[in-house]
Amino acid sequence: MEKLKIIGGDLLRGTVRISGAKNSAVALIPATILAESRVTIEGLPDISDVRVLGELIEEIGGTFHFDGKEAMIDPTNIVSMPLPNGKVKKLRASYYLMGAMVGRFKKAVIGLPGGCHLGPRPIDQHIKGFEALGVKVTNEQGAIYLRADELRGARIYLDVVSVGATINIMLAAVRAKGRTIIENAAKEPEIIDVATLLSNMGAKIKGAGTDVIRIDGVEKLSGCRHSIIPDRIEAGTFMIAAAAMGQEVIIDNVIPQHLESLTAKLREMGVQAEANDDQILVKGVPHMKAVDVKTLVYPGFPTDLQQPFTALLTKANGTSVVTDTIYSARFKHIDELRRMNANIKVEGRSAIVTGPVQLQGARVKASDLRAGASLVIAGLMAEGVTEITGIEHIDRGYSHLVEKLTGLGATIWREKMTDQEIEQMQNS
């Protein structure tokens, strides 16, 4: 087991290249199950979520060859094997195996998913969608059983805007008989990416990226080559790091439009952020203004950037209020930031940050993926040494983070934990 160590205070400068989007990758890989021949996905991030999904594909009879960037997936011999336990528990996105397996085999048994603990993460809208398509869904001892005689297109109105439910319903509906209409669908870029892959495989999907998606089911889907979109959350994390400690940092391989809500907030704080084609240039400034932020569905401010952004706000002048309307308990990073001298209190769904303070290096623990990113940013800003444990969460979603930050001039490295440190961490 490893920990991260950071000596704070280094100024960041240079160019960082953003990897493919984690939140697309984790849906694209299950989506390939629907093809009946080989699919190649270019530009995948080298993260543990991708590797775990690859192992799951192999467990059910497929092949998955991944060189850290490109994956060749052959789903031809996949069977609908029950996956009630084991690796499915390691990540939230294993729930996409439900839609994909039901689409291809009309049956699936999948354990309830894992992923970051951010408050309740219900899947009632996924189930409502599957049932509308004719699937009988039962929950038996922590696993979801899905079975259909036939998948029939349906009109489905989502009661809450959900990325997961929108994608999962799309995965099943591409093989249903007739037309499915998803109303009040989520509009995240990752949904467009999954729809693009499915369309390249032969699916008929219109309206992805709007709140009404129309899907005409087809008999068969086949292999193709697909290039993933860049990770807007990784890009946003580097933009925040650059605002915190950057002289001039170019974030390369981005779709600037995907990051407009963050760019606007950074500008409101007084940070210079200029977008062109596929790059964003961020220049840090000595004094930043406090701002209020509310996380919303896309194109609003992403919940996944709330935690890293909170670390930045400790350096802003005045009081900032950060409200997470998507996840009620996405504040586990706050206690750790406080250990580093941050002045933050949590009231209901809001964190109230008063700055500026000089953060101090400390021993902290990442409780989830973006909490980890928040602590890394805090470590870069802090005086002295910060040690972060729980970095397996960070490895779920950031590809080569240490190398990328080192390339920008940060002093950060991984170190093996001693047995005593592992024991202490497990008991804390």
Q: Summarize as ranges the residues that interact with ligand UD1 (CB under 6 A).
A: 23, 92, 120-126, 160-165, 186, 188, 297, 302-304, 326-327
Residue 369 contacts ligand PEP per CB under 6 A:
yes
Contact residues for 252 (Cβ-Cβ < 8 A; gap 6+): 15, 16, 17, 18, 278, 279
Whole-angstrom distance, CA of residue 16 vs CA of residue 13? 9
Q: How far is the CB of 296 from ligand UD1 (least distance, A)?
A: 7
Residue 304 contacts ligand PEP per CB under 6 A:
yes
Q: How far is the CB of 188 from ligand UD1 (least distance, A)?
A: 5
Binding residues: 22-23, 92, 121-125, 304, 326
Binding flags for ligand PEP, 390-419, as an x/- string (CB under 6 A)? -------x----------------------
Token reading at 410: 């940060």
Residue 262 contacts ligand PEP per CB under 6 A:
no
Q: Which does 30 bind (CB under 5 to 8 A by kind): ligand UD1, ligand PEP, none?
A: none
Query: Does a cis peptide bond (omega within 30 degrees of 0) precede residue 299?
Result: yes
Residue 189 contacts ligand PEP per CB under 6 A:
no
Q: At what angle do helices 232-245 and 260-268 cross, to 10 degrees?
A: 10
User: Given the complex with ligand UD1, which of 92 and 365 has the nearer CB atom?
Assistant: 92
Binding flags for ligand PEP, 328-367, as an x/- string (CB under 6 A)? ----------------------------------------
Token reading at 166: 């929108």
Query: Does a cis peptide bond (omega within 30 degrees of 0) precede residue 356?
Result: yes
User: Given the complex with ligand UD1, which of 34 and 194 has the nearer CB atom?
Assistant: 194
Q: Judge whether 347 and 353 are in contact, CB under 8 Å.
A: no
Q: What is the DSSP letter of 277?
A: T
Q: Judge whether 125 and 160 are in contact, CB under 8 Å.
A: yes
Just list the catalytic residues. Answer: 116
Scored b (16 or more CB within 10 A) or e, 205-227 reads beebbeeebbbbbbeebebbebe
Q: How far is the CB of 162 from ligand UD1 (least distance, A)?
A: 3
Q: Which does 280 bind (CB under 5 to 8 A by kind): ligand PEP, ligand UD1, none?
A: none
Where do contacts with ligand PEP occur on this chain (CB under 6 A)?
22-23, 91-93, 115-116, 304, 369-370, 397
